[in-house]
């Protein structure tokens, strides 16, 4: 029964993240959170064994200092990411979590990473948090899906990607444009927002995927071609390699690319919404909560695109604060709380990482 204290951690990829949540009767309160991200800008990608070493070095000391600096609170529930993600990274977090759950003699809730992303806006109880049933557009490095959630345990994937995830495509394109960094999507977003933009030919639009003939009615995303087209874009100008182009040209191409990628997402989302109304799944007369979460939800162009989305029903948009879009422990703690309070009390003590988890 409330109040109770939750210790949560997330380690599915390259972020070691931990947090403390006070589950009060009046709502959840974030007591503390800490995060340490593996620096892999030089490698141009995350190497699993490096990520594992990072979690092994970082997680336990993060937990230790967080507990110490918060007066060693009594812990009543431990939550950790079980998947999907890198097997070794997940294993590192789960093992720390199991040790803590054994020591405190409390339950361990293993959490689906994407459930964490999609439930995040429900943590922030400003009277406006999304209520079931609600829709979520999950956009991250590993996922691109539109989901209809009826309860904490009931989620229908309405649209999924047939190839790579949008974050993956965005990262590859950013690299083709000569950008470097840990969070390439963020670099691209910022690069496109600041500085001069060259004039480029109007016909330099990236062909919209899945719009021809039968595919036009399909409820699917596709992003692979954005990544594969990029290295060929400079040929269109009969110029030097893309990454050697002046900044203004690269910025113009980046802007076009972002506009086109997010236009594709909004077209397919509109199509799915129309379908839901036609099928009577969501009533036309009521507005519906619409969450946009996951790392790419931090993107400024995506945010403005969704704000002007053509929808047959009024949408109440929810974007987590930028800090809670990318991977963090709060989302795992909150999803664990929702699961726990829904009566999912199966012990996570024998949980094995699920690298792939539909
Ligand atoms: O959710 P997340 O932190 O990790 C996964 O679960 O994948 O998402 C990371 C992805 C990366 O592809 C990153 O480049 C992208 O989110 N990202 C962005 C932005 N910030 C992060 N993509 C576009 N615009 C941003 N502002
Ligand atoms: Zn994520």
User: What domains sit in the chain, N to C, each tagged with a CATH number?
Assistant: 4-124+326-341 (3.30.420.40), 134-319 (3.30.420.40)
**Which atom of ligand 1 is nearest to 114's Cα?**
6
Nearest-CA residue for ligand 1 atom 24 is: 299
Structure ipTM: 0.98
90, 113, 326, 355: which to mutate for ligand 1, most atoms within 8 A of CB? 326
Give every CB contact of residue 23 below 8 A, 6+ residues apart in sequence: 2, 3, 4, 5, 6, 29, 77, 337
φ, ψ of residue 206 in degrees (nearest 5): -85, 125
Mean pLDDT of 114-141: 92
Residue 294 Cα to ligand 2 midpoint, Å, equals 5
Q: Is any atom of ligand 1 closer than 6 Å to the C-beta of 298?
A: yes
- Tokens standing for residue 57: 């070095």
Residue 141 Cα to ligand 1 midpoint, Å, equals 6
Question: What local confidence, expressed as pLDDT, does residue 238 receive?
Answer: 60
Q: Which range is least confidently modeled, 125-129, 172-176, 248-252, 314-318?
A: 125-129
Percent of all residues in the chain with a pLDDT value above 70, rounded to a whole number: 98
Question: What local confidence, expressed as pLDDT, does residue 127 receive?
Answer: 67
Question: What local confidence, expressed as pLDDT, does residue 245 receive?
Answer: 86
172, 296, 320: which to mutate for ligand 1, most atoms within 8 A of CB? 296
φ, ψ of residue 217 in degrees (nearest 5): -90, 0
* pLDDT bracket for residue 239 (50, 70, 90): low
pLDDT of 275 over the 90 cut: yes
Q: What share of the chain is helix, strand, coil (3-state, %, to 5)?
A: 40, 20, 35
pLDDT in tens, 49-72: 999 999 999 999 999 999 999 999
Residue 131 burial by Cβ neighbours in a 10 Å radius (0-12, 13-18, 19+): exposed
Q: Residue 115 CA: which ligand is closest?
A: 2
pLDDT in tens, 10-53: 999 999 999 999 999 989 999 999 999 999 878 878 899 999 99
Nearest-CA residue for ligand 1 atom 7 is: 141
pLDDT in tens, 199-216: 888 877 788 899 988 888
pLDDT of 235 over the 90 cut: no
């Amino acid at each position: 029964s409330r109040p109770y204290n939750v210790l949560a951690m997330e380690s599915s990829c390259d972020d070691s993240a931990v947090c403390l949540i006070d589950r009060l009767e009046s709502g959840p309160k974030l007591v503390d959170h800490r995060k340490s991200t593996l620096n892999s800008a030089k490698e141009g990608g995350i190497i699993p064994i490096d990520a594992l070493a990072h979690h092994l070095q970082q997680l336990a000391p993060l937990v230790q200092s967080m507990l110490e600096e918060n007066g060693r609170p009594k812990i009543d529930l431990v939550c950790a990411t079980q998947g999907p993600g890198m097997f070794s990274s997940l294993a590192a977090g789960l093992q720390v979590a199991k040790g803590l759950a054994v020591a405190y003699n409390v339950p361990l809730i293993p959490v689906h990473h994407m459930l964490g992303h999609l439930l995040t806006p429900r943590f922030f109880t400003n009277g406006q948090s999304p209520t079931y049933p609600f829709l979520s557009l999950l956009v991250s490095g590993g996922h691109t899906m539109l989901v209809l959630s009826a309860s904490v345990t009931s989620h229908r994937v309405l649209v999924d990607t047939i190839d790579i995830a949008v974050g993956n495509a965005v990262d590859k394109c950013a690299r083709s444009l000569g950008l470097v960094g840990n969070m390439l999507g963020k670099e691209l977003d910022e690069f496109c927002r600041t500085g001069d933009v060259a004039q480029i030919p109007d016909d330099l639009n990236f062909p919209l995927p899945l719009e021809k003939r039968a595919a036009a009615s399909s409820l699917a995303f596709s992003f692979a071609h954005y990544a594969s087209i990029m290295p060929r874009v400079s040929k269109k100008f009969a110029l030097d390699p893309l990454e050697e182009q002046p900044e203004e040209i690269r910025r113009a191409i980046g802007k076009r690319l972002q506009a086109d990628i997010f236009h594709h997402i909004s077209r397919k989302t509109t199509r799915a919404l129309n379908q839901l109304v036609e099928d009577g799944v969501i009533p036309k007369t009521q507005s519906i909560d619409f969450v946009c979460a996951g790392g790419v939800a931090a993107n400024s162009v995506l945010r403005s695109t969704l704000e002007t989305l053509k929808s047959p029903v009024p949408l109440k948009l929810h974007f987590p604060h930028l800090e809670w879009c990318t991977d963090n422990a709060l989302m795992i703690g909150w999803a664990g709380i929702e699961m726990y309070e829904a009566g999912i009390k199966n012990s996570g003590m024998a949980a094995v990482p699920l690298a792939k988890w539909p």
